Amino acid sequence: MSTPPELEAVIGLEVHVQLATTTKMFCGCPLSFGDPPNVHTCPVCLALPGALPVLNAEAVHYGVMVGLALGCDITERSIFARKQYFYPDNPKAYQISQYETPLCTGGRLGDVRIHRVHLEEDAAKLLHIGHSGRIHGADASIVDFNRGGTPLIEIVSEPDLRSAAQAREWLQLLRSTLRSLGVSDVNMEEGSLRADANVSVRPAGSDALGTKTELKNMNSFRFLERGIEAELRRQRELIATGAVVVQEPMHFDPQSGTLTPLRSKEEAQDYRYFPEPDLPPLEVTEAMIERARADLPELPADRQRRYEETFGLAADTARVLAFREGLGPWFEEALAAGDDLDPQLLANWTTGDLARVLAGAEPADSKVKPHALSALVGMVARKEVAPSAAKTVLERLAAEGGEPAAIVEAEGLRAMGDGDELEGLVEAAIDANPDAAEKIRAGKQQAIGAIVGHVMRETKGRADGGEVSRIARQKLGV
């Protein structure tokens, strides 16, 4: 019996992003989150008889910015369409979206090609009263139209992702890109970023696409990854047992880790799309594109490239600086404040120890000022402060602010020379740790930690750990 071919994952994402415009997509109601229900409504977003949509120019501007940032072709004349279905969160019983002619086509982000980006409106929010928590079996369902009509862009990737982890990473990349554009809060918990995943498997090396399922509404990066993993597992098991994958939308329950079909195939929706007669075609002029281009910040991918090319940074360090919100500009300010500083050394401190003491806070809000880290790293480079003592200084900076030189002086953290003083301290440490000394002589290199640790304690980290280790080995004759 031959081994069945390995099944490779083929994943594409459909990402809905609420745009952070001032007003809704087709009316003048303000956007909101967490306000009392149904206070931000009007004849248009309640779909009262006779109301008509008027397109939000700011949403178009944001949409064009996203298109440009993703390297898409911007459609000169795109068309809005009605996507028809009955549901209480959809008051017109059609969603105004784009279908055959979206605002943007093509493009790429990282290793993944973009299929299209289009504009549409969000649905209202349904709350189901009763223990079922779903519309079936609810005692009552109530609708909050505050969210209804919020501008959305839908970004559809090509099926270029090959693992659940890659899908998660790419979505994070997309999120930082969108965040740097300032077009959305991109907050998955609040639903301003929502992802559906199209998942299929195929024999590795094949070009054909397998039957896909659609994992709906993943509301965290972790659930996205876990959901895709569970679905891939389910599909591989189906195929292994000779069954077939049925094309259908699936719901992933992150609590139980289980997948359930959202509706059966018999109920497959026909949305009866047709061009929205209430809105003329959306003409995007050259001037609009120029205006959007002028509003584009440097994008994370471009920033990473610049860090690699201009500062000679290693790719992974450059990537962290470029993609972590606010870290890049902070780093650049620190670099500019220093004299002849090694960019890679400063970058290592920024992405390592600084990021650690920030613990998720915005770099700009930290008490550690860029010039302070720059000065500290300069002292480390000149061996005026040992790396371990420098970490202590950084923690003090993070807690209280101030200047590293002053902290070094006040705390007596200046690096020790490699002269007699250090030799004496090492000797004392060996005497105080005879067991460790014996082990080192016997060839147990790791035991040297006890000696180095002793010296570090005695010197409050002012000693250079590498130097201590060298002297200790010399003394012990290994």
In angstroms, the CA 184 to CA 20 distance is: 5
Judged by CB under 8 A, the residue of 4, 43, 261, 424 near another protein is: 43
Judged by CB under 8 A, the residue of 91, 107, 227, 370 near another protein is: 91
- Residue 279 binds another protein, judged by CB under 8 A: yes
Choose between 278 and 325: whose C-beta lies nearer to another protein.
278
- Residue 33 binds another protein, judged by CB under 8 A: no
- Residue 127 binds another protein, judged by CB under 8 A: no
Q: What phi-psi label fits residue 467: left (phi over 0), alpha (psi between -120 and 50 degrees) or beta?
A: alpha
Choose between 145 and 170: whose C-beta lies nearer to another protein.
145
How many separate helices (H) and strands (E) can be counted in the chain? 16, 17
Burial of 125 (0-12, 13-18, 19+ CB in 10 A): middle
In angstroms, the CA 460 to CA 455 distance is: 8
Place of tokens 């550690």: 368
User: Parallel, antiparallel, or unpaired: how do β-strands 73-74 and 125-129 relate?
Assistant: unpaired
Judged by CB under 8 A, the residue of 23, 37, 51, 475 near another protein is: 51
Closest CA to 13 of 153, 122, 170, 119: 170
Q: How far is the CB of 130 from another protein (least distance, A)?
A: 10
Q: How far is the CB of 23 from another protein (least distance, A)?
A: 13
Choose between 122 and 467: whose C-beta lies nearer to another protein.
122
Q: How far is the CB of 266 from another protein (least distance, A)?
A: 14
Enclosing H/E stretch for 240:
helix 221-240
Closest CA to 71 of 34, 102, 35, 112: 112
- Residue 92 binds another protein, judged by CB under 8 A: yes
Judged by CB under 8 A, the residue of 19, 46, 183, 301 near another protein is: 46
- Residue 40 binds another protein, judged by CB under 8 A: no
Q: Of the ranges 276-284, 382-390, 417-425, 468-476, which one interacts with another protein (CB under 8 A)?
A: 276-284
- The mark string for 211-250 relative to another protein (x by CB under 8 A, - otherwise) is ----------------------------------------
Q: Of the ranges 135-143, 202-210, 221-229, 354-362, which one interacts with another protein (CB under 8 A)?
A: 135-143
Backbone angles phi, psi at 277, to 5 degrees: -75, -15
Judged by CB under 8 A, the residue of 13, 25, 31, 53 near another protein is: 53
The DSSP secondary-structure symbol of 279 reads S
In angstroms, the CA 388 to CA 394 distance is: 10
Q: What phi-psi label fits residue 347: left (phi over 0), alpha (psi between -120 and 50 degrees) or beta?
A: alpha
Judged by CB under 8 A, the residue of 34, 36, 49, 443 near another protein is: 49
Judged by CB under 8 A, the residue of 280, 352, 417, 466 near another protein is: 280
Q: Compute the C-alpha angle 250/107/322, nearest 5°.
A: 90
| C-alpha distance from residue 244 to each of 213, 226, 230, 269 (Å) | 12, 22, 16, 22
Q: Where are the beta strands (DSSP E) in 4-163?
A: 7-18, 73-74, 77-78, 80-84, 94-98, 104-105, 108-109, 112-121, 125-129, 140-144, 151-157
- Residue 278 binds another protein, judged by CB under 8 A: yes
Judged by CB under 8 A, the residue of 65, 143, 201, 372 near another protein is: 143
- Residue 82 binds another protein, judged by CB under 8 A: yes
Residues in binding contact with another protein, number by CB under 8 A: 30
Closest CA to 28 of 47, 56, 50, 51: 56
Q: How far is the CB of 350 from another protein (least distance, A)?
A: 50
- Residue 266 binds another protein, judged by CB under 8 A: no
Choose between 47 and 345: whose C-beta lies nearer to another protein.
47
- Residue 126 binds another protein, judged by CB under 8 A: no
Q: How far is the CB of 85 from another protein (least distance, A)?
A: 9
Q: Are 95 and 121 in contact (CB under 8 A)?
A: yes
The helix/strand/coil state of 416 is coil
First-residue to last-residue Cα distance in the chain: 57
Judged by CB under 8 A, the residue of 133, 274, 312, 314 near another protein is: 274
- Residue 24 binds another protein, judged by CB under 8 A: no
- Residue 349 binds another protein, judged by CB under 8 A: no
Judged by CB under 8 A, the residue of 5, 30, 88, 466 near another protein is: 88
- Residue 423 binds another protein, judged by CB under 8 A: no
Q: Which residues pair with 253 in a beta bridge?
A: 258
Q: Of the ranges 49-57, 229-237, 341-349, 355-363, which one interacts with another protein (CB under 8 A)?
A: 49-57
Judged by CB under 8 A, the residue of 5, 6, 52, 470 near another protein is: 52
Q: How far is the CB of 47 from another protein (least distance, A)?
A: 5
Closest CA to 129 of 140, 145, 115: 140
Judged by CB under 8 A, the residue of 134, 272, 441, 444 near another protein is: 272
The residues that touch another protein, with contacts defined as CB under 8 A, are: 43, 46-55, 82, 84, 86, 88, 91-94, 135, 141, 143, 270, 272-274, 277-280
